Structure 1
Amino acid sequence: MINGEQRVPAPIRWGMVGGGRGSQIGYIHRSAAERDRVFTLVAGAFDIDAARGRDFGTALGVALDRCYADYRAMFEAEARRPDGIQAVSIATPNGTHYAITRAALEAGLHVVCEKPLCFTTAEAQALRALAAERRRVVGVTYGYAGHQLIEQARAMIAAGELGEIRIVQMQFAHGFHSEAVEAANPATKWRVDPKMAGPSYVLGDIGTHPLYLSEVMLPELRIKRLMCSRQSFVPSRAPLEDNAFTLMEYEGGAVGYVWSCAVNAGSMHGQKIRVIGSKASLEWWDEQPNQMRFEVQGQPVRILERGMGYLHPQALADDRIGGGHPEGLFEAWSNLYLRYAQAMVATDRGDAAALAALHYPGIDAGVEGVRWVEHCVRSADAGAVWVDYV
């Protein structure tokens, strides 16, 4: 993607729900979606306060009459326009995702939604059925999956370079919430409120990120059963956890482990995934996303660098600037938004072959994330017991 050529016939007319002034995640969505000119922001319901949302929307360059008080008004009004939105991104607290996604699909819109998609597996499956019925794309923003070396790991594992997969070690363990920061931070406060965050805090908020990376790297791996223990080290967060350990057994004999934590004092981000095979191991750390360790038993450690010609074509397809120049989160998200746009265009024209060639965090990833959290909570609340993954 170094040359920046247009990758879709025309930019998709796009709206946002949430992501208003001061929203870090809203800015990431807009920057990623518009970088490759595959989406154009033309409408939004940016804030729960309608006047504040209009003020912010016009500051972004959105026409005043397309800055709406709420998502329902936006979907209804845009449906009446010949140039109405074709897709919407949802950047609102967790507790609103299901209702807004459902309404968007019913309005005939493609959707990009923050995770978790909803709170229960039953809700997630209902959204999947509705998306299939309406033939709409639902993308879920597991943004780290857009990093180039994730594709490299997927290709190497598929080629058998690691041998038989034995262990998958995952963590997302930062330290920024090692104290009750939510008392003074509204963006954190809702994340530890069960009414808005759902049945978990760190399991759903951060633990599902490395879990999805494992699904990208190891698409054939299936969880057989798991056991989860969760804690609320900041007592006011109970019943939601700020730390959790999840052990997993996979079909075929491999095992896995996810450490989800917001109280790892001193850690900046702490998201890592290590895949261990019978011949070699791979390790990727999101704080150093342009490098991946490749460790073959009995040989010196190799550091694979983003953007280099020795990488697999699947990885180089995501390249945005030559090797040696660092890429980061915005590039990763832009890669995903490009894939979302390509999937939406292919869906609209009924191009099954183009869709089959794409992989991105879609509705199945959203369902699986909700399902995993649900099983973790069930295990932890039963006293950290093994539960079958059904």
Structure 2
Amino acid sequence: MMNGTRRTARPIRWAMVGGGCGSQIGYIHRSAALRDRSFDLVAGAFDLDPARGRAFGAELGLAPERCYANHEALFDGEAARADGIEAVSIATPNSTHFAICRAALEHGLHVVCEKPLCFTVAEAEELQRLAHDRGRVVGVTYGYSGYGTIEQARAMVAAGELGEVRLVNLQFAHGFHSAAVEDDNPAIRWRVDPRFAGPSYVLGDLATHPLHLSEVICPDLKVRRLLCARQSFVKSRAPLEDNAVTLMEYENGAFGTVWTSAVNAGAIHSQKVRIVGSRASLEWWDERPNQLSFEVQGEPARVLERGMPYLHPEALAEDHISVGHAEGLFESWANIYGRFAAAMEATDRGDAARLAALRYPDIAAGVEGVRWVENCVRSADAGGTWVDYL
């Protein structure tokens, strides 16, 4: 059980690009990174409006001279300091991720980037090569992957408790955008504009979350081909989709489905992952993340509870509080930020053994998310046809 001790010998000097006043995700980045003191926020470029960004940085307690107008000024200014930043989180609209991430890596910084990592596989692979050449860590904020119940599901699949995996059913289908809410909300508007969001809306914004969870739980499953159909029920969002269904055939013969929607009227989140094996099934729901349903054929269904001693050790390693108390998304994010910090320190020390023992949503996960979306868009734009997974 975690007791709040730092995972690194000292805090990593850290900055943010984006995540300023009004950001949907800035606060959770800071809360997660600072929770166990693995990071120390010392600088930032928080806003497109430099004055507003500086004012926000001052509210966070940062020195005025370390609140910069943009990411270029941030990276150059910090590089000139003996106590400059060592890592940066990118919490900006999708269209900026590639350029900012590339610039950060070129300045020798470790990176935590919001997903999608970028718009194309070519861009993603360029970042992957650059990260490898510079020896830097790139983490991607698939924030749901830090739950202990996800670790439990992974361990159960690995132990053969489900038998042979046959079906993977995924969904992330909320209803909050069932009307054109972006007309009155700038924080949502960019998500449905291809200039800023890229080639997809819900496929990239929502579907890659349960997809990544399925990759964590079933790492041996590889997509062979897929078929995607997407719709724009709020017509002003076209060509971007607000609903999509994807079918996937895996190389071992398993089959997968993904329903992704922002127009599932009345639904809160409805992100679910169900893994069906030849002997038993598992199901996880992000609105009840402390429970994992386990259903063995011919036996009563059971619910596995977070923190209980009957769980696999991997599921207990990052508990923040004793069983019976609910943990949530902030704890999950704190877990992955702790792993990011450990990976960054191990990389800097050349500790290959420690780095190999860590599992976190890395740049390979980011590349795979971009690859999946690119294949889905290719299938949908061809009229919803099967395409080989490239």
TM interval, short-chain normalised: over 0.9
Aligned-residue offset at 1:4:
1.5
Aligned-residue offset at 1:6:
2.2
What is aligned with 1:382? 382
What is aligned with 1:110? 110
What is aligned with 2:6? 6
Aligned-residue offset at 1:351:
0.8
Cα distance per residue 1:301-338 (max 9 Å; x no partner): 11000011111111100111011000000000000000
Q: Within 5 Å, which residues of 2 pair with 1:181-200?
A: 181-200=181-200
| C-alpha distance in 1 between matches for 2:7 and 2:343 | 11
What TM-score does the superposition give when structure 2 sets the normalisation length?
1.00
What is the root-mean-square deviation of aligned Cα atoms in Å? 0.5
3-state secondary structure, aligned to 2:219: coil
| C-alpha distance in 1 between matches for 2:318 and 2:310 | 14
Q: Within 5 Å, which residues of 2 pair with 1:228-377?
A: 228-377=228-377
What is aligned with 1:207? 207
Paired residue type of 2:53: G
| C-alpha distance in 2 between matches for 1:361 and 1:7 | 17
1:36 aligns with 2:39: no
| C-alpha distance in 1 between matches for 2:323 and 2:244 | 37
| C-alpha distance in 2 between matches for 1:77 and 1:6 | 28
| C-alpha distance in 1 between matches for 2:4 and 2:37 | 9
1:135 aligns with 2:135: yes
| C-alpha distance in 1 between matches for 2:70 and 2:5 | 35
1:227 aligns with 2:202: no
Paired residue type of 1:319: D
Over 4 Å off, 4+ runs: none
3-state secondary structure, aligned to 2:314: helix
What TM-score does the superposition give when structure 1 sets the normalisation length?
1.00
What is aligned with 1:180? 180
Paired residue type of 1:268: I
Cα distance per residue 1:9-43 (max 9 Å; x no partner): 00000000000011120000000000000000000
Paired residue type of 1:282: L
Paired residue type of 1:195: R
3-state secondary structure, aligned to 1:325: coil
What is aligned with 1:77? 77
Cα distance per residue 1:230-276 (max 9 Å; x no partner): 00000000000000000000001000011110000000001000000
| C-alpha distance in 2 between matches for 1:258 and 1:60 | 40
Aligned-residue offset at 1:219:
0.7
Paired residue type of 1:305: E
Aligned-residue offset at 1:44:
0.2
The count of aligned residue pairs is 390
| C-alpha distance in 1 between matches for 2:302 and 2:216 | 22
Cα distance per residue 1:43-92 (max 9 Å; x no partner): 00000000000000010011100000000000001001010000000000
Aligned-residue offset at 1:197:
0.2
Aligned-residue offset at 1:293:
0.3
| C-alpha distance in 2 between matches for 1:330 and 1:163 | 33
| C-alpha distance in 2 between matches for 1:233 and 1:48 | 32
What is aligned with 1:62? 62
| C-alpha distance in 2 between matches for 1:191 and 1:205 | 8
Aligned-residue offset at 1:2:
3.0
Uncovered stretches (5+) of structure 2, i.e. residues with no partner? none
1:171 aligns with 2:171: yes
Paired residue type of 1:114: E
| C-alpha distance in 1 between matches for 2:142 and 2:4 | 23
Cα distance per residue 1:86-109 (max 9 Å; x no partner): 000000000000000000000000
What is aligned with 1:159? 159
1:216 aligns with 2:205: no
Identity %: 72
